[in-house]
């Protein structure tokens, strides 16, 4: 937990969107306003050939004073089977989050959370969730 009121610049691996009027170097003076922890549920998915990710859209309310937003994966649990775990080797797995749109007028944030779990032939159902952390920064 950060006790300081000043936050260091955001590390590169995070998906970042910033207010259009601010330069990248201005991020040094931002204060953390709050952090949200939404969860994207992926239920009864079947990966198609071609490794297509399943997508869950999330909509969040942004604090009014926000000038800078970061979103990143904070954990995940994906497994074969629907209600119970099925032991099965997997060939490919991936998760990530992206900021789709930030509507500053309405204080709305739209995220897309992507997940994929494939076995060797891509025909087994899978389920799970991806935890996301969204941090709001202001001056």
C-alpha–C-alpha distance, residues 116 and 127, integer Å: 10
Q: Does residue 127 contact residue 42 with C-beta atoms inside 8 Å?
A: yes
Would 76 be classed as within a structural domain?
Answer: yes
pTM, to two decimals: 0.73
**What pLDDT, on a 0 to 100 scale, did the predictor assign at position 45?**
76
Would 55 be classed as within a structural domain?
Answer: yes
Would 28 be classed as within a structural domain?
Answer: no
Could you list the pLDDT tens digit for every one of the 139 residues in the chain? 333 334 344 444 344 444 545 545 455 678 899 999 999 999 877 655 555 788 999 999 999 999 989 999 999 998 887 665 666 666 778 899 999 999 999 999 999 999 988 877 777 788 899 999 999 999 8
Residue listed under structure tokens 């604090």: 63
> Strands, E, within the chain: which ranges?
15-18, 31-36, 39-46, 54-61, 68-80, 92-103, 108-118, 125-138
Domains in the chain: how many in total? Answer: 1
Would 27 be classed as within a structural domain?
Answer: no
Domain range for residue 118? 33-138
C-alpha–C-alpha distance, residues 64 and 79, integer Å: 38
Would 19 be classed as within a structural domain?
Answer: no
Would 9 be classed as within a structural domain?
Answer: no
C-alpha–C-alpha distance, residues 28 and 2, integer Å: 15
């Amino acid at each position: 937990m950060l006790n300081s009121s000043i936050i260091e610049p955001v590390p590169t691996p995070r998906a970042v969107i910033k207010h259009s009027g601010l330069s990248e170097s201005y991020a040094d003076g931002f204060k953390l306003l709050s952090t949200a922890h939404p969860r994207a549920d992926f239920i009864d998915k079947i990966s198609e050939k071609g490794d297509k990710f399943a997508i869950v859209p999330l909509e969040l309310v942004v604090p009014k004073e926000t000038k800078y937003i970061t979103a990143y994966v904070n954990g995940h649990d994906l497994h074969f089977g629907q209600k119970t775990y099925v032991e099965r080797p997997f060939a490919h797995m991936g998760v990530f989050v992206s900021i789709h749109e930030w509507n500053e007028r309405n204080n709305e944030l739209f995220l897309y959370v992507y997940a994929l779990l494939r076995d060797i032939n891509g025909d087994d159902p899978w389920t799970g969730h991806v935890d996301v952390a969204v941090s709001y920064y202001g001056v």
